[in-house]
Amino acid sequence: MPDAGSRTASIGLEGGRAVTARPTAGAPRSVRATAARIAGDWLPAVPLLILAVLLLVLPTAVVVLQSFRGETGGITLANWAETLSRKSDRRAIATSLELGALVGTISLLIGAPLAWAISRALPAARTAWLSLLNVGANFGGIGLAFAYTAVLGTYGMVTLALQRLGLPFTPPPSTSFTGLAMAYFYTNIPLFILLTLPAMHTVRDDWMEAAEVCSATRFQFWRHVGIPILTPFLLAGWVLIFTWTVGIYGLAYALAGSAPAAPVRLMTLQIGIALNQSANGQQRAAVMAAILLIIATVSLVTYRIILRRATRWFS
């Protein structure tokens, strides 16, 4: 008879019972099949993973290591101590966090009602609103700084029009905290609406009808049903707007980066100032960049936790 090997099971008697020995050579074959399947699943993602390592992981590691590198090349905390002891750098960190919190809060207060209204609008009106919001959300940097100056500058269109009407209107300087916030509102409020608009569809109309059938008022519905469901999504949008605002550089530099007195200091602007200095400038810039990375990481983790809480309504 031919040797079955691993292809055929051997049968014997043990204690009066028939015992079948399963083939063992099939295990390596199954392992090879599993490895081939995993390789086939991940092969299309290899170029993206390589780009992520080259453009994200390695630069992040270089920035973190450089923030701890001393003048002699050793590891030290002197760069962090020097940066955090500077009054200008501490003020830049505080101002960036305040600006991010303000822009996120205003975007939440204005964007949430607008997102709800747009989600309940007719298809044609919703399409028009989405087109306008996409333009606003993607319009930033140097172009937005020029538009702000042309509209609300000292000789801006709106400024001159209001002054000709006899109104004592004086626009806030573009280099001030208020001027930066107003410019940030233009792009961040539309972005917040686009981020939270899909969440508005989680509140179904039949839930409101069921509440009305049960003699519940609209206030009771929003207090006990609508707001608890939408709150995690709105908080997640706030976190994203906060993080995005803290990391903006182009718009901040165009409006306040070239001011000689530097009335507003931001972390992103301080990085540029530090890089232009010859004495320990790269290390200081690396420390500020590392602080931005910490803020972004904490925000990302918070965002994931909030979204996990939001999905409990649908699990």
Secondary structure (DSSP) of 91-153:
HHHHHHHHHHHHHHHHHHHHHHHHHHHHHTS-HHHHHHHHHHHHHHHT--HHHHHHHHHHHHS
The per-residue pLDDT for range 64-82, each reduced to its tens digit, is 888 888 877 788 888 888 8
Q: Report the chain's terminal Cα–Cα distance, integer Å.
A: 59
Give percent of the chain above pLDDT 70. Answer: 87
Residue 2 reports pLDDT greater than 70: no
C-alpha span between 247 and 266 (Å, rounded): 9
Burial class (CB in 10 A: 0-12, 13-18, 19+), 5: exposed
**103-130: average pLDDT:** 92
The residue whose two tokens read 């905390």 is 77
Query: Residue 14: which H helix or E strand, with range?
Result: strand 10-14
Determine the average pLDDT of the residues in 274-293.
83
Residue 1's pLDDT band, with cuts at 50, 70 and 90, is very low
Place of tokens 């917040």: 192
Secondary structure (3-state) at 83: helix
CA distance 63 to 56: 11
Q: Are 107 and 241 in contact (CB under 8 A)?
A: yes
Q: How many helices, marked H, and strands, marked E, lie in the chain?
A: 15, 2
Element (H, E) at 10: strand 10-14
pLDDT band, very low/low/confident/very high, at 108 (cuts 50, 70, 90): very high
DSSP assignment of 224-293, as one string? IIIHHHHHHHHHHHHHHHHHHHHT--HHHIIIIIT-SS--S--HHHHHHHHHT-SSSHHHHHHHHHHHHH
Rounded Cα distance, 112 and 222, in Å: 13
Q: What is the pLDDT of residue 10?
A: 44
Q: Which domains does the chain have, with CATH numbers?
A: 86-313 (1.10.3720.10)
Per-residue model confidence as pLDDT tens digits over 261-280: 667 888 988 888 888 776 67
